[in-house]
Structure 1
Amino acid sequence: MTRYAADTSVSVANSKAEIERIVERYGATGFMSGWSGNQAVVAFAMAGRQIRFNLTMPDKADKSFTHHSRGPRTPEAALKEWEQACRQRWRALALVIKAKLEAVESNISTFEAEFLAAIVMPNGRTVGEEIKPMIATAYASGTMPPLLPDYSA
């Protein structure tokens, strides 16, 4: 299976700008994007919620960029492959956000259902970041965690 936008020529900057236009068109009241190390972030405020997508960028040193079937790539060729992978991820994120907002707009789904994992909680973590460990524990143990903390002590 091929990746969406695997051969895109749309720059990362243009994809970020498109995401900003998309969320604004669907009613966002705030928008930000940034990066630190290999983590990119897109966040916006909409429907009384703060939404954050963390996008992990590929590692420049990954062999899929530095090598091909015939051996090592030149540094310039490796950089070109890495930049292509970054452009692909940003295009995919733009597609995901647009599809989610259109599903909400078309009454196929609700805002909360589409963005649940990306909703930022008061502690600064997303619902997904909070719940993923609990899901893993529940499946590993075969038991459901309690819905409320035990305050009986």
Structure 2
Amino acid sequence: MPYAENTSVSVEKSRAEIESLLRKFWALENARQPGKYPPMRFQFYSDNIGAEITFTLRDKTIRISLPLPDPSSKEFTQKILYGKVKKNDPSKAYALWEQACRTRWRALALSIKSTLTDIEAGIKTFEIAFLAYFMMQDGKTIGEHIIPRLDEAVGDSKLLLPERTA
């Protein structure tokens, strides 16, 4: 069962929660080191394919993409009733798609909250936690550059564990 599968929290409320979490994190950072970092910027974009949030923290621009389900997918447009495939009416299909979007936004809010908690607790550094999402000068993230070539870059690396002796 996916996290928040039956949530009633709107996409807008989840997005606002994410922005609030990031602003509170920036405020804590600024309180620890007044004037070190410029004010946080936050941007949001969404369409039926996906959403992006872009924000600036510690002089780094971070972009996190959230793929959204295809509203024309069979999981929304069709149902199986007594072993037969039936078409959902458009309002039912939209309601199912909207629920799936709410679920993904809740998961993203949880993920960001967890990431910020890791940073505050010293489990991860800010840089490690957001490394894949840092935007480079060409507009792509570090992850968009590295992930397609990860196997090539890492090669046939074997886990470097000591040999086990009996």
Same fold (TM over 0.5): yes
Q: 5+ residue gaps in structure 2? A: 27-38, 158-166
Q: Which residue of 1 aligns with 2:63?
A: 52
Post-superposition shift, 1:40? 0.8
Post-superposition shift, 1:137? 3.6
65, 88, 93: which is aligned to 2:76? Answer: 65
Post-superposition shift, 1:47? 1.7
Post-superposition shift, 1:39? 2.3
Number of aligned positions between the proteins? 141
Structure 1 segment 1-153 matched on structure 2, within 5 A:
2-27=1-26, 29-70=40-81, 71-138=86-153, 142=155
Task: Summarize the Cα distance change of 1:11–1:37 in structure 2 as closer, same or farther, 3 Å threshold.
Answer: closer
Instruction: Give the residue type in structure 1 aligned to 2:144.
Output: E
- Please report the RMSD computed on the Cα atoms of aligned residues, expressed in angstroms: 1.7
Q: 5+ residue gaps in structure 1? A: 145-153
**Greater displacement, 29-38 / 109-118:** 29-38
**Greater displacement, 81-90 / 37-46:** 37-46
Tell me which structure has the larger Cα radius of gyration: 2
Three-state SS of the structure 2 residue aligned to 1:34 is strand
Structure 1's consecutive aligned runs of 4 or more residues displaced over 4 angstroms after TM superposition are: none
1:59 and 1:4 map into 2 onto residues whose CA distance is 19
Identity %: 41
1:3 and 1:42 map into 2 onto residues whose CA distance is 22
Instruction: Give the residue type in structure 2 aligned to 1:21.
Output: S
